[in-house]
Amino acid sequence: MKIFTLPDVGEGLNEADLVNWMVKVGDTVKVNQVIAEIETAKSLVEIPCPWAGVVKELYVEVGDTVNVGDNFFAIQVTDAGDSNDDAPAQAPLVGSGPKEDTSGRRRRRRKPAAAPAEVESPAESEPEVTQIPEELEPTPEPAPEPVQKSDLFAKVLAKPPVRKLAKDHGLDLTTITATGQHGEVTREDVRAVLDGAAPSTAETEPAKATGSSETSETIKVTGVRKATAKAVTESYTTAPHITAYRTVDATRTVEYIQRLKQHPRFADVKISPLLVVAMAVTQAALNTAEANASWHGDSYTLHHHVNLGIAAATPRGLLVPNIKNAQDLNQLQMAQALQELTQRARDGKTQPAELADGTITITSVGPLGIDTAAPIINPGESGILAFGTIKQQPWVVEGTVEPRWVTTLAGAFDHRIVDGAEAGAFLADVAAILEEPALLIS
């Protein structure tokens, strides 16, 4: 019998959360068959089996946190050519193989999730903003079709605490209608199936006696949310932020996007004003290198290439994959890269390499109905641009008040590198292209 220990999945991380077992004890598996899905702080990773045989034991439960090098599962090998049934561990799948657990922590068990509080997410609420053209409204992504598997917890989008709640009540996630923004099963969906069944005291903690039936909920911070919390705290407390704003007449950008949508070259790719913003930020980052830099304590590096980060809201939390060498892409290539990058993020297929080595970031808050925001710099970078809603409002054009399509840009910068002059120059370059996108081909 061979024991499989959790390998290094090539991300330099020491732990992961088990999201889903794809097999059960007694199942016969083939070489490279996917055994489980784990969630690291960076991505969702499928774990293949290096042997053919029969699963004898699963050492980890869904929702557990397991360290690299911990026992993961055991298998009775059926390969006649392998006579060593007592081998303790497998060859490494990725990188250098199992690492010593430098944290010294034992495997942690997640506490059962509490009953949900009724909170409406910003993405589900109706923003009070002037209507913009239908072409500018974000197109909702279709919910992914569930994969049919014999396992009780087949591959369905759901966070580990939700899976744990369903498992505790013997519910099959594949039979639950998902209402999450990106097609994921939420706690509310599971509770709806339970049809008001009284939750156990281990799941919920009643609210204080106030005459209200509301409950409170404690969420264990893991995976992407844990990594995000650590990163933004470090960034905000380490890098002194300076934020500058610029309101822009983007009417010609709106018109330009409409023309691109009608062009045969762009027929198979999604086009939005984000394309113009991405091209503009890339050009501005080359013009003002201080906004495209990294701080190293007593020195900093000015990058003369642009790895353009795109902040993406996903069912697992906020991810910032980046487009490598964005300065080398034409408009069609940039549109394709944006579409592919954001789709992979929503599908949970972002690769670790796509999250590394970013130089500057865009966060698009317009789809949430937000005019603008003061963003936090992505760690390791010196600049980030928030791009808000485009909406009609009065605008003075050559002495006459006209309705124009207007947006507000907010650039946050590391003040150790970027002063007001550089921040102003960067925003001026972005604004100039939004005001006249023809500059992209000049």
Q: How far apart are CA 362 and CA 323, in angstroms?
A: 11
Residue 363 identity: T
Q: How far apart are CA 295 and CA 108, in angstroms?
A: 35
Give the C-alpha distances (Å, rounded to integers) separating 250 from 138, 191, 282, 404.
17, 45, 18, 8
Token representation of residue 84: 């060593």
Are the beta carbons of 110 and 63 closer than 8 angstroms? yes
Interior angle at CA 182, CA 360 and CA 139, nearest 5: 75
Per residue in 88-120, is it b (16+ CB within 10 Å) or e — as a string? eebeebeeeebbeeeeeeeeeebebbbbbeeee
DSSP assignment letter at 352 = G
Residue with tokens 């598997």: 149
Per residue in 129-168, is it b (16+ CB within 10 Å) or e — as a string? eeebeeebeeeeeeebebeeeeeebbbbbbbbbbbbbbbe
Q: How far apart are CA 333 and CA 367, in angstroms?
A: 23
Query: Which positions ≥6 away from 85 have C-beta within 8 Å?
Result: 1, 2, 76, 77
Give first-to-last CA distance, the chain, whole Å: 67
Q: Is residue 415 annotated as part of the catalytic site, yes or no?
A: yes
Identify the sign of the CA torsion 103, 6, 39, 191.
negative
Bridge partner residues of 8 (DSSP):
none
Beta-sheet pairing, 34-39 with 205-206? unpaired
* Catalytic entry in 169, 241, 305, 415: 415
Q: Which residues are catalytic?
A: 415
